[in-house]
Structures are given as C-alpha cells and as structure tokens.
Amino acid sequence: MSQNRNWLLPLSAGALALLIVASLWVGDLPLSPTRVWAGLWHHDELAATVLWQIRLPRLIVAVLIGAALSSSGLVMQAYFRNSLASPGLLGVSSGGAAGAVIAIASGWSAVSLFILPAASIVGALVATSAVLILARRGASTERLLLAGIALNALLGAITSYVLTGYTLTYERNAQILFWLMGGLEDRTWEHVWVVLPVVVVAALLWPLGRSMDLVSLGSEEAQSLGVDVRHLHRKMLVLATVLTALATAVAGAVGFVGLIVPHSFRLLSGPEHRRLVPVTLIGGAGFVLACDLVARTVGHLRLGIVTALIGGPFFLWLLRRER
Amino acid sequence: MPAFVPTPLYLVLMLASAQLALSTPIRVVSQTVGSDELLLAVAEPSQIAALSHLAIDPSFSAIVKEAQPYPRITPGGDAESILKFSPTLVLFANYSRVELVEQVRRAHVQVIVLDRYATLADAYANLRLLAHALGTDARAEKVIADCTHRVATLEAKLRGVKPVRVIAPSIYALIPGDQTTFQDLCDHAGAENLAATIGHLYGHVSPPSEQMLTWPVDRIVVAGFNLNEAMAPLRNLPPYSLMPAVRENRAVLIDPYEISCVSHHRIDGYERLAHELHPEVFK
Amino acid sequence: MNALEINHAQVPARLDNVSVTLGVGRVVGLIGPNGSGKSTLLQVAAGLLPEGKADVLWHGRKLEEIPVIERARQLAWVPQEARFEFGFTVRAVVAQGRFAHGDDERGVDDALQRLDLWSLRDRPVNRLSGGERHRVLLARALATDAKLHLWDEPLAQLDPRHGLNVLALARELARAGRTVWFSLHDLRLAHRLDELVLLQRGQLRAAGAPSTVLTEEALADVFGIRLRPAEGFDLEIY
C-alpha cells in the first residue's frame, strides 16, 4: 500500500513546476512566451522589469508562504493531536495582524518597505510570548489552546479598535482591510528577503518527522517510547510560530492554507511525517501559487478570499466524509 | 500625517528629471481620483494614458463625463496593471500602497506622490506642479485664475452673511470634524461645522451621540443624488432620528463627490452648498 | 535485586506516601476502587509524572540517572485510554515500539501475531473497535522488548478470549524473567496473580500474596463487599 503513495511527491513537484511557469507567463501585462523568455535573460527591457521586479518576487513569496503555512499547520496538528488545528490557534497571526494594523494606522508603514513586515513580526512574537507565559512551563495542550483563544480575542479587539476608532482617513482603513484579507500584490524583493528564512526553518523541521509520528498519537505514550517530549514540543512550537509569523508578515492574514493542505495530504499520503513533511511543503507551495493564479486571472480577487472560497467548502466536505 | 520624504526637495528632483524627460512623448497614468481631476484640468488629451477606476464613479468623481473616453486601471490592480499603459509618469497620493508606488519606481517610471491636498491652496500648488511636469503651465494658470475668480465672487456674495450651523452625518457612525474636506466646504460656503466648533472633533471620528442632541443644528448636510433617499436612513438611526433638524426635514443635498473632493473641483461644492444654505443671496 | 522500587511516592491529592517493591519475573496486580490512585501510581513508576515526588528505581538504577531513550528500552507503559487521532496502520503503530531501538523491525511481526492482530495489520488504527485498539497498545508494548511492563487497565475492553490471552502473555513474560504490573477490577482474577498491591484513597492498604491482601476485612473495608475465598468454581491460567 505504501507503493501507491510514492508518486505523490514527484507529482506535486511536477505540478509546482508547471504552476511556476504559468505564474511567470500570466499577468495583467500580456507577454508572449517569447517575450517572457527574452525578459528572463534581460533582452527585453519592459518584460525584464515585469518579470524580475513584479512576477518573480510575487512567485517566490507565494511559494515560501505556502510552504510556511502548510508546514506550520502540520506541526500544530501533530502538537495538538487534532487534524483540525491550524497555525492561527495560538494567536500568532492575530499578533502579526495587530502589529501590521498599528503600523499602517500610525502612518509608519509608509516610511520604508521593511517597516510593515517588521511590525507584523514583532506583533507575532509578542503574541506568542504572551501565550507561552500565560501557559507556563510544562503546560498542557489544553491550557495553551485556551491561552490562544484568549489572545486571539484580545488582539482582534485591538485590530477592531484601530480600524474603527483611530484612523484619520478612510484610505488608511482601506489599506488595513486590504492587508487583513491577505494578498500578494506588489511583493518586492524586500519581502522575499523577509520570508526567506522559511527555507532554513523548513529544513529544521524535516528530521523531526519520526518523533512527530509518536507525539501525534499521545505525548505520554511518546515519552514512554523514548521521545524527549518536552524538548520536542518546544521545538515544534518555536518552528510553527516562526513559520506563521514570517508568512503573515509578508502576505497578511491568509487563512485555510494551514488547515486544508496538511489535512488533505495526510489523507492522500498517509500520516507518516517523514513523508508528509516534504509533501506538505511542496503541496502547500503549489496550493498557494494556484490560488494566487486564480486570484490574478479571475477579476483581481485577493489571495485570502480565494483560499477561503476554496478552503471553506472543501473543509466542510472533509468533515462530512469523516463521519 | 507623516510625509515620508522632504516634500520641497522631492518636488525639485522630480521637476528636474521631468525636464530631461520632456523629449519623449508624455504618457501619464493617474492612480487616484484626486489626481484624475488634476490631470484632466491641465493635460493635453494625448498625454493621458489611463485614469483611476473611480474616475467615472459619480460618487467620487467630479469629472465623470470628461473621463469617459479614457482607459482606466483595473481596481485593486498591481503594478502591472499600471505599467501596461507604458506610462512615462504615474500620479499617486500618499495613501496609495507603498509597495505599489515602489514597484512602479523600480520600473524606471517617473512618479509623483501628492501628499498635500487639504486646502484649495494645496490644489493650486498641485495643478502648477503637474502642469510643469507636462509642459502645460499656461493651462494651469488659466484654471487657477478661473477658480480664484469664482471663489472671490462667492466670497463677495457671502460677505456679512450669518453662518448656518450644520453637521454632515453619515450612516457609518463617523462624522467629519475640523481638518476635513467638509470643513473646507463650510469655511467657503458660509456655514459653521458644529462638529468642529462645539464638538471639537478632528478628522472622521465617532460623534458624541448624546451631546449631539443638544447642538443647535440649523441644517443637516447630506451627500447623495436624491434628498429623500439620502435622508431616509437617518430618520431611523439614533441619535440623528431624534434631532429636530432631521425630524423637521431641515436638510440640504450636495453631490457625493463634493463632500470628499481634494482637487480644485471642490469649488463646485462651495458654490452648491452656498446656494443651498443661502438662497436669498443668489436671487 | 528488585525489578521496581518506589519509595514514598507523593502526588498532591492523589498519592500519599506510597512505597512498593516488585520482584523480577512476577505478574503483579494493582487493585483498588476508582479514584484510589492506580493510574497515578503507574505513571509515577513509569517516570511520567515529574511533578510528583518519588524515589523510583528500575532494576536497582535510579530513574533520574537513566536517559530518556534508555528508559524506553527498559520499560513499556500502556495507558488506560487508546485514542488515535491519525490513521497510522496497526503495524506502523506497533513498530513505534522499536523507536528506542533505532527503528529496527525486530519482534514487530511476532507482537502482531501474539495479540491476534495479524489480519488487521494494514488497517488504520482510528478505524478499530475499542478492544482492538487496546490490543494494539499491548502489541506495541510487547515490541519494545522491555524488562518492566506497566499496563493500566489492559483487560477493560477485551472480550474473554482476548482477555485470557493477555493474561497468558503476562505469564509468559514473567517466565522469561520480566515483570508485569497491571491494574484490574476483577477480584477473582486478581486472586490468581503472583502478588497484589491494594490502594485505597491514594494510600497503600496492602501488598503481597493475594491471600494476604484479599482478606474478608480488606474487601469489606476497601470495596464495601462481602466475599471470601471458597472451594468449588476456580479458574487457573495455563
């Protein structure tokens, strides 16, 4: 039966490659394949600008946040032993949102392209530290969950306050809402640099796969089978948090990726994390890239809307299937 | 509002590079409705490559008819949707998305970001700035002269007139106080914006609902296309539904774009509001 | 040398100064009413309750001095509840018992067959009945090849055939020099084991041979029942 599943990784990689090609080709400015080729080699100035300054950064950010959010969701699902867990459970993305919203409302985000992502990361880290402190050392997963719920509520309130009570101009409100929906418009190479550490973090995740198998079936059982659960849990939490924080910082609050992708690939590829980690990384990258392609071609939707429109019904279908 | 570059230096640099670029045909894309209005006032038709998607929206644009023949950028579009018009110059406001402005700059296209648009004087300055970049200074001067004349005429008519006390309620639980385009309208139309004078409010903020009931509001100013339709939601919405001015239908209507206009077309709003509030002066 | 030694186990609101010693090659029962602290005591013995104060020794070695990975090779712990969220196959879960042995496959197939799981080996564990899931946990414990086995209510959901099979398995392990300590509710069965440990409200009430532990007085006091050993109907495990 495991032979069946070995095709999934090459298939996903192939799909990702196709999506990358499509993402270079598709855009508001129509470019023929020859112009795309010429642009890539800098032979055609306008095409080169469009490809190298607009489409390529956007494409790389999409791939990296797709990988980040899906692997973060995978880790959360193993951590909480629940296939419905998602990266936002512990308030990381709410913290990132609050940080970004404050940066936009105060006008600081206009000063430099790095400020908005930086504010978002600060917000995310503050939120996570708050959760960890609230939950204390050796906290059970239940306590962490509750702390996350409380934090999500608090941060949501801060965001709402800023939105309704603080902005001087409607345009800033519009920018905030724009960011909150999650999207990849006009991503620059600065955003690529901010989100590039995802590659390192994902690499750190890979060797934890076998231990995650055990821990996902029970932390005490895993402890008695030889897994140092406290250290592993700490590593998992840190990695998931960093991945989510980085993704939120450059793309806003994009939902459903961290829930849908690991869940679906687990159904297709089986629950073994050594196989699931790489497949989720690639599959997640492809999923976000595909959603972004849809977002761009179908009347300028935002990425967060597309992932929700696809993710929501898909999630309901999954729930029906299980029962 | 923090200006992210020192504006005078910025303008000088932009103007300098504009001079150098004058040899190639100028194609301008405008990304905001405010810059649309400025552009149409001073540019030759052949210089206009594309306007914002709001240019033909009567709720926001003063120049719906004039804007019809020109192409428009897709709403919410990215840098590509601007670059596909092959512009040599793109107009933004300081509330345009930073990433969008940056992406257009990196495509080596000249960019002008308008960050002062609160008063009529700002509008004149923007007209001159834009006209200079396009080589149409004479047009700007003519527009400004016409505007100055209109404002002076209006001012003369309204001399000695007792200001009408007004507020401009909206259904979004926000009301314009001091330092808004509405305040500017009031200042030039013989009106007193109670949200500023009694309420001491700045910008678009939530009004003190209970205290508002005690304000001596003479007229309500609403924006819309039909007075009854514009007033209807207020008749059911506290605290407005409880105010005498609303119940007695003491309201005036102005066009939606007039209440939020940042270009020289705000003078339309001055005149409209003045006519509505002081009809006796215009007989 | 004792297989397991617990000295003065103290867990707030659960265990009060409990000390137990188990010899090598024994099948020992842990009995007591619900809430008497049986699960907690097994967890303390397994080193899973760091917040409880206890002095625990495995085969003469202090627990704190045994690294986590080696503990897994020495002791197998089976929890009371078998909840599997994800669909690993039965074989994959049983093979997890070899984690501390570098994930070799030794003994996995034997464990599957011994617990009558061979026909179910490719079934996802989250699609098993309660009894089947418990057998998976036991097979995993067997696969660890540990010298000390602590099982929390292993017989609770098993039908008579499988329940007796598990008891036979315990007996085999003991004959091979290992020690099996498990909690149970069936007092007639308890009577057939080598030793018993009786808990009442977090305290050690008695420990030793079944005849000394299951006295009329203890049964009446701890369980509130009137029973005594009698001739006649008797079960022997072979």
B168-183 confidence digits (pLDDT tens)? 988 777 889 998 899 9
Contacts of A49 in chain B (CB under 8 A): 83, 106-108
Measured between CA atoms, the residue of chain A closest to residue B86 is A46
- Quote the number of domains for chain B: 2
Are residues B174 and B134 part of one domain?
no
Give φ, ψ of B254 to 5 degrees: -125, 165
CA distance B163 to chain A (A): 26
Contacts of B86 in chain A (CB under 8 A): 46
| Rounded average pLDDT over B128-153 | 95
Q: Is A271 on the interface with C (CB under 8 A)?
A: yes
CA distance C187 to chain A (A): 28
Contacts of A228 in chain C (CB under 8 A): 68-69
Are residues B267 and B196 part of one domain?
yes
CA distance C180 to chain A (A): 16
Q: What percent of chain B is predicted at pLDDT more than 90?
A: 67
Are residues B144 and B179 part of one domain?
no
Q: Is C69 on the interface with A (CB under 8 A)?
A: yes
- Of B84, B117, B150, the last residue of a domain is B150
Question: B196 in a domain, yes or no?
Answer: yes
CA distance C73 to chain A (A): 8
CATH of residue B181? 3.40.50.1980
Highest mean pLDDT among A56-65, A167-176, B208-217, B226-235: A56-65
So what's the pLDDT on residue A128? 87
Comparing CA positions, the residue from C75, C124, C60 lying closest to residue A223 is C75
DSSP B74: P
Comparing CA positions, the residue from C181, C225, C202 lying closest to residue C78 is C181
- Of B150, B170, B189, the last residue of a domain is B150
Are residues B261 and B231 part of one domain?
yes
Which chains lie within 8 Å of chain C at 3 or more CB pairs, if any? A
If interface means Cβ-Cβ distance under 8 Å, which residues of chain A face chain B?
A: 27-30, 46, 49-50, 53-55, 58, 107-111, 113, 116, 164-165, 167-172, 175, 178, 185-188, 191, 300, 302
Residue A246 reports pLDDT greater than 80: yes
Question: B10 in a domain, yes or no?
Answer: no
So what's the pLDDT on residue C117? 94
So what's the pLDDT on residue C238? 47
Are residues B264 and B167 part of one domain?
yes
**Which residue in the set A49, A186, A300 is minimally distant from B97, CB to CB?**
A186
Q: Is A280 on the interface with C (CB under 8 A)?
A: no
Q: Do chains B and C touch (3 or more CB pairs under 8 A)?
A: no
Q: What percent of chain B is predicted at pLDDT more than 70?
A: 92
Comparing CA positions, the residue from C34, C49, C46, C48 lying closest to residue C201 is C34
Question: B13 in a domain, yes or no?
Answer: no
For the stretch A209-240, pLDDT in tens is 999 999 999 999 999 999 999 899 989 988 99
For the stretch A119-146, pLDDT in tens is 999 999 999 888 777 666 666 778 888 8
150-209 in chain A: CB under 8 A from chain C: none
Contacts of C96 in chain A (CB under 8 A): 213-214, 217, 225
- Say whether B245 sits in a helix, a strand or coil: helix
CA-to-CA distance for C74 and A85, rounded, in angstroms?
34
Contacts of A5 in chain C (CB under 8 A): none
**Which residue in the set B75, B95, B108 is minimally distant from A300, CB to CB?**
B75
Per the prediction, chain A carries an average pLDDT of: 88
Contacts of A81 in chain C (CB under 8 A): 85
Are residues B135 and B61 part of one domain?
yes
CA-to-CA distance for A180 and B255, rounded, in angstroms?
31
pLDDT band at C31 (very low <50, low <70, confident <90, very high): very high
So what's the pLDDT on residue C198? 94
pTM of the model: 0.85
Residues A256 and A37: beta-carbon distance below 8 Å: no
- Within chain A, residue ranges assigned H as helices are 2-5, 8-25, 33-40, 45-49, 56-79, 92-106, 115-135, 141-161, 170-180, 189-195, 198-205, 209-215, 219-224, 229-251, 257-269, 273-297, 303-322
Residue A322 reports pLDDT greater than 70: no
**Which residue in the set A1, A218, A272 is minimally distant from C122, CB to CB?**
A1
Are residues B137 and B111 part of one domain?
yes
Cβ–Cβ below 8 Å for A218 and C79? yes
Are residues B128 and B102 part of one domain?
yes
Which of A5-14, A40-49, B18-27 is least confident?
B18-27
For the stretch B49-95, pLDDT in tens is 999 999 999 999 999 999 999 999 988 778 999 999 999 999 999 88
CA-to-CA distance for C43 and C22, rounded, in angstroms?
15
pLDDT band at C223 (very low <50, low <70, confident <90, very high): confident
Helix B181-189 / helix B266-277 crossing angle, nearest 10 deg: 50
For the stretch C87-100, pLDDT in tens is 999 999 999 999 99
So what's the pLDDT on residue B5? 45
Are residues B94 and B200 part of one domain?
no
Are residues B191 and B142 part of one domain?
no
Question: B276 in a domain, yes or no?
Answer: yes
CA distance C215 to chain A (A): 35
So what's the pLDDT on residue B17? 57
Question: B49 in a domain, yes or no?
Answer: yes
So what's the pLDDT on residue A131? 79
pLDDT band at B210 (very low <50, low <70, confident <90, very high): confident
**Which residue in the set C48, C51, C86 is minimally distant from A223, CB to CB?**
C48
Are residues B221 and B185 part of one domain?
yes
Are residues B76 and B170 part of one domain?
no
Helix A303-322 / helix A257-269 crossing angle, nearest 10 deg: 40
If interface means Cβ-Cβ distance under 8 Å, which residues of chain B face chain A?
A: 1-2, 4, 74-81, 83-84, 86, 93-95, 97-100, 102-103, 106-108, 173, 202-206
Asked whether the CA dihedral A230, A232, A238, A244 is positive or negative, the reply is negative
Helix (H) and strand (E) counts for chain B?
14, 10
Q: What is the ipTM metric for this complex?
A: 0.89
Cβ–Cβ below 8 Å for B106 and A49? yes
Which chains lie within 8 Å of chain B at 3 or more CB pairs, if any? A
- Of B150, B172, B194, the last residue of a domain is B150
Distances (CA, A) of A261 to A257, A269, A303: 6, 12, 15
Could you list the residue range(s) of the whole structural domain that residue B36 is in?
23-150
**Which residue in the set A46, A49, A107 is minimally distant from B2, CB to CB?**
A107
Measured between CA atoms, the residue of chain A closest to residue B97 is A175
Most A CBs within 10 Å, among C77, C81, C84, C85, to test the A interface? C85
Six token digits for residue A202 = 């994902």
Question: B14 in a domain, yes or no?
Answer: no
pLDDT band at A160 (very low <50, low <70, confident <90, very high): confident
Measured between CA atoms, the residue of chain A closest to residue B118 is A169
- Can you spell out the DSSP letters for A28-90? SS---HHHHHHHHTT-SHHHHHIIIIIIHHHHHHHHHHHHHHHHHHHHHHHHTT-TT--GGGG
Measured between CA atoms, the residue of chain A closest to residue B93 is A171
